[in-house]
Structure 1
Amino acid sequence: MIRHTALGNTAFGRSKKLKQLIDAGEIQLAGNVKLKICGRLSCASGKRLKTENRVFFASETEAFETGYRPCGHCMKQAYQQWKMSVTL
């Protein structure tokens, strides 16, 4: 898990480092620290997150093992499976 604020001191520096990590395949998902929700980088809900609340994950496994749940918008199938497991 990588906190967005840990990627640099300026918005430009964070943006540049984030692009490098995405291009290298080291980041696959983004998440919200406060809500413990993770989703795809292209998700409209995730793009609205405040920088200080945003974290990044290398894989779904990493995100789920750290206690994050899938986003109901961009990861519908995984969300439905998670929801069924919680209600049982």
Structure 2
Amino acid sequence: MINHTKLGETSFRRSRKLKQLIDDGLITCAGNVRLKIYGMLNCSSGKRMKAENRIFFSTIEEALGNNYRPCGHCMREAYQQWKSGGHS
């Protein structure tokens, strides 16, 4: 897990570091620390959250392993499965 605010001191530096990590394949999804929800990097809900609440994961398995649930907007099918009790 990588906390968004730990990527750099300024918004610009965080943005550049984040792009590098995504391009290198080290980040594939993001989550909300307070809500314990993860989703895709292009999710409109995720893009609106505050940087201090945003966390990044290298894999979906990492997010699930940290007890995050799928986003109901960008991961509708996984969310429905989680909601119906298909989670551990």
TM-score bucket of the superposed structures, by smaller chain: over 0.9
Q: Unmatched 5+ residue regions in structure 2?
A: none
Runs of 4+ with >6 A deviation: none
| Residue aligned with 1:74, SS | coil
Q: How many residues in Structure 1 have an aligned counterpart in Structure 2? A: 86
Q: Give a deviation string over 1:6-29, Cα, whole Å, max 9, x none.
A: 100010110000000000011010
Q: Unmatched 5+ residue regions in structure 1?
A: none
Structure 2 residue aligned with 1:85: 85
Q: CA RMSD in A?
A: 0.8
Query: Percent identity between the aligned chains?
Result: 64
TM-score (norm 2): 0.95
TM-score (norm 1): 0.95
Residues 1-88 of structure 1 aligned to structure 2 (within 5 Å) = 1-85=1-85
State the distance in 2 between where 1:9 and 1:29 align.
Answer: 22
Q: Give a deviation string over 1:20-79, Cα, whole Å, max 9, x none.
A: 000001101010000000000000000001000000001110001101000000001110
